Amino acid sequence: MPDVTKTAAVAEEAVDAPSVVEAAAPKQEKARSLWGDAWHDLRRNPYFLVSAVLILFLLTVAAFPGLFTSASPTVGDLVNHYLGKPELAHIGQADWLGYDGQGRSVYARMIHGTRASIIVGICVTAIVTVVGGLMGMLAGYFGGVMDAILSRVTDIFFGIPFLLGAMVVLQSFTERTVWVVVGALAFLGWTQMARVMRGAVITVKQADYVHAAKALGAGTSRILFKHILPNAMAPVIVVATIALGGYISAEATLSYLGLGLAAPTVSWGVDVSTAVDQIRVAPHILLWPSIMLSVTILAFIMLGEAVRNALDPKMR
């Protein structure tokens, strides 16, 4: 006769122990959201890593230029008039990037010029994203008369050439500071954001969760900012990131033409403008600000491309 106690103990162990199927079944990973999936891809994208390091470095230079140079970008000594690297090596000067026509350090001006370009790019991008995004969201969600009015206003501003319109606006100001340039570029640059946001909102507002929110009695503001805006921001963020480099380039172009920033403001565009006439005598004063400008624009364009690839499922 079998031992009843022993049989019961074995059966109890079989019940408590996990089954072979459960042990062999792999654990399912928690589903990631769109932003979590994008961040997962960005961390493995070399373009994002390189651009993020460059942008972090540029932001540090713009915020704390004193960490990189103690020389003044506006005070010069005419003894160093157009001294370049060969002459500096001969006379034992410390600034190996040379000096400009007024004896000012090219390196110091290159470092301090980062702030103006970064401020213009970030502030213009923030303003056009808010203004254009709000107009596009209202036009796309309400449609009808409001869509027609806002779309026609957008078309009017979109028909104005960007740089030509900015030059006309800036020409009316006697003193062109950083904030005047920001206002002129933002005044004409919001149209692209409005169109992108309008198209995204028209697509998102057809989703089932928006109809469900309306059926549950959610207000318009809650639907717009809680349900539609978070799901329509992906294409806007991509366009804004790429456009930031374009705004920095636009500021340098306007400063080069003499219609943007002007002395005593330190800017790469101002330095490039003053260096053109002396390119054969002192090419070093044109080379270094041009390199910094190109690297900055490239970093933001690379960041925008990486973000676009991460947020667009078709690019994966």
Give the Cβ contact number of residue 311 at 10 Å. 20
CA distance 77 to 81: 7
CB neighbourhood size of 62 (10 A): 19
Give first-to-last CA distance, the chain, whole Å.
Answer: 67
Q: Do the Cβ atoms of 282 and 84 come closer than 8 Å?
A: yes
Give the pLDDT confidence score for residue 82 in this predicted structure.
Answer: 64
- Top pLDDT among 35 and 42 is at 42
The answer to whether the bond into 26 is cis (omega within 30° of 0) is: no
CATH code given to domain 42-69+114-315: 1.10.3720.10
The per-residue pLDDT for range 94-138, each reduced to its tens digit, is 567 778 878 888 888 899 999 999 999 999 999 999 999 999 999
Q: Note the pTM of the prediction, 2 decimals.
A: 0.81
Q: What is residue 31's DSSP assignment?
A: P
The CA distance from 316 to 313, in Å, is 5
CA pair distance 184, 165, nearest whole angstrom: 8
Tell me which H or E stretch contains 47.
Answer: helix 46-63
Reference 268, options 242, 244, 249; nearest CA is 249
- Which residues face 105 on adjacent strands? 99
In the chain, the amino acid numbered 279 is I
**Residue 163 — φ and ψ, nearest 5°?**
-70, -40
DSSP-assigned letter for residue 225: I
CA distance 165 to 28: 56
Select the more confidently predicted residue: 210 or 30: 210
Please report, as a single letter, which amino acid is at residue 315: M
Are the CB atoms for 245 and 96 separated by under 8 Å?
A: no
- Work out the mean pLDDT of the chain and round it to a whole number: 82
| CB-CB neighbours of 199 under 10 Å | 14
Q: Are 110 and 268 in contact (CB under 8 A)?
A: yes
pLDDT value at residue 62:
93
Q: Could you tell me the pLDDT band of residue 30, with boundaries at 50, 70 and 90?
A: low
Residue 26 CA to residue 49 CA, distance in Å, equals: 32
70 has a pLDDT exceeding 90:
no
Q: Which of 153, 161, 187 is nearest to 173 (CA)?
A: 187
To which residue do tokens 């005593």 refer? 264
Domain boundaries, the chain: 42-69+114-315
Q: Please report the pLDDT score of residue 39 as a whole number.
A: 78
pLDDT-above-90 percentage for the chain: 39
Query: Quick one: pLDDT at residue 104?
Result: 84
Contacts 24+ apart (CB under 8 A), 77-85: 77/103, 78/102, 78/103, 79/103, 82/278, 82/281, 82/282, 82/285, 84/282, 84/283, 84/284, 85/284
Is the pLDDT assigned to residue 33 strictly greater than 80? no
